Structure 1
Amino acid sequence: MITVSAYEIPEPGRMHLVQRSFPELAPEDLLVRVHRVGVCATDLHLLDGDLGVAYPLIPGHEFVGEIAAIGSAAARRRGLRDGDRVAVEMLLPCHNCDQCRRGRYNLCELDDRSVAAAGRQYGINIPAHTPPGLWGGYSEYVFAPQEALVHWIPDNLSWDRASLVEPLAVAFRAVDRAGVGPGDSVVVIGPGPIGLLTVAAARARGAGTAVITGTRQSRLDVAVRMGADASINVRSVDAFAAVKELLPKGADVVIETAGQASAQEESVHFVRRGGVVVLAGACGSRVPITFHQDEDILLNEIDIRGSFLSAGGFEPAIELLSSSELHFEELITHHYGFADVPLALSHVRDREQGVLKAVINTTTGGSHG
């Protein structure tokens, strides 16, 4: 019997390597051999038990790979074949509910109803005991049934660059939720991977001015190379005064990616009257957010919008990664082999060695570098 190795979280606080059987495929199924999987802060929240999901599970939702096997019907319908390079969206939408039919499949109603049971999100809430068990990117292979959203990746993308498709798709979702268009001024809060990619996505949508705020100068420097006109280190200057100097009326759009309650509260102070604030950073816990409704929101007619997951973002993300001369690989500061998954999580948790984005090569052993 052929087996597949995967890292499983059996319960909060523990992770171990397990073996799964190589699955048999129905005509509409396909199997992806994972080449790269990005480490996300959400993976740590899952390990810590912060998200209230069912265990055991295999984490990892930022994965790309090649088709190892594909059913005949899936090959015809998708126009794919063995060996094609692909990215798989993290959500398995039903394609039939009201939200899916409206194009907002990230809000699939089936996912709402089934989180406590089967779950619908790769690497997040599909329990490992759901057949065939390969539902996360911290694995040699991932199973993709008929409802999976699978995107072809062109050959000119390196595996490292391609590993940024999912987080860049999240950034495009936030930018498009804000309605960023030509000439708009945009302030991004938080120079983590999503924030840096949001700068690039905003520029791709035609933003006239892009400003980013944060606390780590090394990341702010990267933001300028991602297309930011200015970066503001909030540890050394007054962020509100600095934004006002650059944008006297405030920004047309503010996108918060820091995942901190304080940053979300501050976001309404950077935006102009009648502007848009998008909250895209997940806090990982039930932290209350407080706004002064009259002076912060009502009197200025500020639109506050949430942005969840990456619906509609994969196509522009793949296009930008394929065509842009930006050095996206600069965001990937740490590479790990499959045997180094626990080490990678430890480094990301402790922010050791200046880690910005960690990526695991699941086709190699231990190769941290």
Structure 2
Amino acid sequence: MTTSRTTSRHVLFAAPDRIEIDETPVPDPADGDMLVRVRRVGICATDLHLLAGHIGEPFPLVPGHEFVGEVAAMGVAAGADRGVGVGDHVAVEMSLPCRSCPRCREGRYNLCDRDDPAAGLDRGRQYGVNIPRTVAPGLWGGYAQYLTVPAEAIVHHIPHHVPWDVAALAEPLAVAYRAIARAGVRPGESVAVIGPGPVGLLTAAAARSAGAGRVVAVGTRQNRLDLARRFGADHTINGRERDVREALVDDAGGLCDVVIEAAGRVEAQQQAVGLVRRGGRVVLAGACGAGASVTFRADEDLLTREIDVLPSFLSAGGFEPAITLLARAELPFAALVTHRFGLDDVAAAYDVIERRDQDVIKVVLDPWSTDGFTRS
């Protein structure tokens, strides 16, 4: 089945700090492959790190890993393999696992060890992060109108009633659910979430849906802390106004069973170990950028308190519960998407994010929009 277009417009990171708009030919998909028409893609802090050259040298790169869209074309075998058809709404996981290395076989496909010499990679491939545009067919990032989905990609069906802006939250919510799974949150346990950005707010929602008995959101931006209550937080603590540990003990029920860091800052990771009870679990889910280092006191913070410190990387296993929660529409997910831009206005979108302008929370791109910025 052929596509309705012969080329796909996309954003290109041509080199560090250099954004271009380019086009790539759109081929018919091979037998086991699909072609997805991208309808929304979320902007992640990782994208800004990539542009700055803080995460390797993948240039030239089409960025974007938080994408959702509709199936535009399929190879002969793709439908039977995936259980979806042309016109279906889908989310595609950012990891392209080999499914055969030891990590993939044990279910941790986010840690795929596959080598890909053609892409210059010595470990797993990720949409919009480490597959250069020079790798054929060049449709490997979500800041684009079309994207190729090879047979090894992991595809999830999204119900048609979920709006595109809300559907674009599937990947960050899946990241949140993986953090909850890594923590092993049990019904009735208390959970503190540091960093009420999009992932942090969604982590509060995921913790509540997992049965947490008490959820505390910790941050420094009051508008986001207020929103955290709408996503399941029982208590909020503004670190600019209170000593967080003191407020947690005095006003929010004590140190928590689980603390999840979603801020992507070394200071937040250090803070996390001080907010968990003895014998509790800390999950570090925020990416701080290449070269960042964090220091804990070996005895006072870790050994004598016997806490577990668990990194959580990407979203493996999180998409199914994430899409289920989005489809139930019980929470105000649309309130998280505050800004929408077209492909030509990526630089303006980044400026809003970096300046924390206009009460920005989550910014998405509509690859088919010609209207520039629209307030969601």
Per the TM superposition, whether the score is higher than 0.5 is yes
| Rounded Cα–Cα distance in structure 2 between residues aligned with 1:248 and 1:68 | 51
What letter is aligned with 2:68? V
Query: Is 2:210 the counterpart of 1:200?
Result: no
- Per-residue deviation at 1:365? 1.0
| Counterparts in 2 of 1:165 and 1:6: CA distance versus 1, 3 Å | same
Q: Which residue of 2 aligns with 1:333?
A: 338
What letter is aligned with 1:60? G
Query: Is 2:68 the counterpart of 1:51?
Result: no
Query: Is 2:150 the counterpart of 1:145?
Result: yes
**Is there any run of 5+ residues in structure 1 with no aligned partner, and where?**
none
| Rounded Cα–Cα distance in structure 2 between residues aligned with 1:329 and 1:335 | 12
Comparing 106-115 with 7-16, greater Cα deviation is found at 106-115
| Rounded Cα–Cα distance in structure 2 between residues aligned with 1:320 and 1:69 | 28
Q: Which residue of 2 aligns with 1:68?
A: 72
Query: Is 2:275 the counterpart of 1:270?
Result: yes
In the alignment, is the contact (CA less than 8 A) between 2:12 and 2:19 conserved in 1? yes
Q: Which residue of 2 aligns with 1:287?
A: 292
- Per-residue deviation at 1:116? 3.9
| Counterparts in 2 of 1:363 and 1:242: CA distance versus 1, 3 Å | same
In the alignment, is the contact (CA less than 8 A) between 1:340 and 1:365 conserved in 2? no
In the alignment, is the contact (CA less than 8 A) between 2:64 and 2:128 conserved in 1? yes
TM-score normalised per structure 2: 0.95
Comparing 109-118 with 226-235, greater Cα deviation is found at 109-118
Q: Which residue of 2 aligns with 1:218?
A: 223
Q: Which residue of 1 aligns with 2:358?
A: 353
**Is there any run of 5+ residues in structure 2 with no aligned partner, and where?**
none
What letter is aligned with 1:267? A
Query: Is 2:199 the counterpart of 1:158?
Result: no
Pairs aligned (count): 369
| Counterparts in 2 of 1:112 and 1:299: CA distance versus 1, 3 Å | farther
What letter is aligned with 2:13? I
Q: Which residue of 1 aligns with 2:184?
A: 179
Question: In structure 1, the residue corresponding to 2:95 is in which secondary structure?
Answer: coil
Q: Which residue of 2 aligns with 1:33?
A: 37
Question: In structure 2, the residue corresponding to 1:106 is in which secondary structure?
Answer: helix
Comparing 348-357 with 93-102, greater Cα deviation is found at 348-357
| Rounded Cα–Cα distance in structure 2 between residues aligned with 1:83 and 1:24 | 16
In the alignment, is the contact (CA less than 8 A) between 1:255 and 1:280 conserved in 2? yes
Q: Which residue of 2 aligns with 1:2?
A: 6
In the alignment, is the contact (CA less than 8 A) between 1:53 and 1:124 conserved in 2? no
Q: Which residue of 2 aligns with 1:227?
A: 232
- Per-residue deviation at 1:250? 1.4
What letter is aligned with 2:111? L
> Which of 73, 82, 87 is the aligned partner of 2:86?
82
| Rounded Cα–Cα distance in structure 2 between residues aligned with 1:247 and 1:270 | 12
| Rounded Cα–Cα distance in structure 1 between residues aligned with 2:18 and 2:323 | 34
| Counterparts in 2 of 1:61 and 1:10: CA distance versus 1, 3 Å | same
Question: In structure 1, the residue corresponding to 2:77 is in which secondary structure?
Answer: helix
| Rounded Cα–Cα distance in structure 2 between residues aligned with 1:59 and 1:71 | 25
| Rounded Cα–Cα distance in structure 1 between residues aligned with 2:297 and 2:30 | 55
| Rounded Cα–Cα distance in structure 2 between residues aligned with 1:76 and 1:289 | 47
What letter is aligned with 2:200? G
| Rounded Cα–Cα distance in structure 1 between residues aligned with 2:38 and 2:156 | 14
- Per-residue deviation at 1:34? 0.3
- Per-residue deviation at 1:3? 1.3
- Per-residue deviation at 1:286? 1.4
In the alignment, is the contact (CA less than 8 A) between 1:338 and 1:366 conserved in 2? no
Question: In structure 1, the residue corresponding to 2:63 is in which secondary structure?
Answer: coil
> Which of 67, 89, 95 is the aligned partner of 1:91?
95
Comparing 354-363 with 302-311, greater Cα deviation is found at 354-363
